[in-house]
Amino acid sequence: MLHVVRHGRTEANASGLLLGRLDPDLDEVGERQAAAVAAAVGPVDRVVSSPLLRTRRTAEAFAVSGAGAVEVDERWIEMDYGEFDGRPVADVEPATWAAWRADLDWAPPGGESHRSLGRRVRAALDDLFEASRTAEVVVVTHVSPIKAALAWTLGVGDEVAWRTFVAPASVMTIGAGPAGPSLRGFNDTSHLSAVR
């Protein structure tokens, strides 16, 4: 089974900022979320993480359960928001959002497009998928790569990113059927009900 987990909360997330390649740590709530999501998923055989601190710290909660060292894979890093990184979401002009939604090749100035992100995430998933048939694999990553992983799982285009929501410390579960990947769960946050 493949479990794709969003990192726990950071202060920047809680403040409504676009958070791409900036590298803040988890806040106190995020630390509790990391422990809760690791406990909910249970023992795993392998843990893969984005290189950013918020994901590596979340991944460490899984490693404590006996999975061994966290493997860092650059392909799971968050979308590069370029000049938008660290800006409040509300400060991005409506016309910019419209252009972004209308074109998978559009990218923020100095940043990355959805199509580019989708290519790298699909390659990472292709490398992990066979292993997930016989092992419990966790990937700890970010909003945009999770949305790209959903598109890969469902066999749809990356424009699905605009129609989905991914909460901090949520889990997407992907099974390996005879015909390929199958979605078993998405944006599961049931393990966070007691986390404050």
Q: Residue 190, Cα to own-chain centre: how many angstroms? A: 17
Q: Tens of pLDDT along 35-54?
A: 999 999 999 999 999 999 99
Sequence-distant (≥ 6) Cβ neighbours of residue 34 within 8 angstroms: 7, 8, 26, 57, 58, 60, 61, 169
Model pLDDT, residue 85 = 97
**Average pLDDT of the segment spanning 157-181:** 96
Q: Tens of pLDDT along 133-158?
A: 999 999 999 999 999 999 999 999 99
- C-alpha angle 127/132/133, rounded to 5°? 120
How many domains does the chain contain in total?
1
The CATH code of the domain that includes 161 is 3.40.50.1240
Model pLDDT, residue 196 = 78
Q: Please, how many CA atoms are within 13 Å of residue 183, restricted to the half-sphere of its CB?
A: 16
**Average pLDDT of the segment spanning 22-36:** 97
Q: Which residues are catalytic?
A: 7, 78
Place of tokens 């403040």: 15
pLDDT at 67 over 90: no
pLDDT at 65 over 70: no
Q: Which domain holds residue 145?
A: 2-192
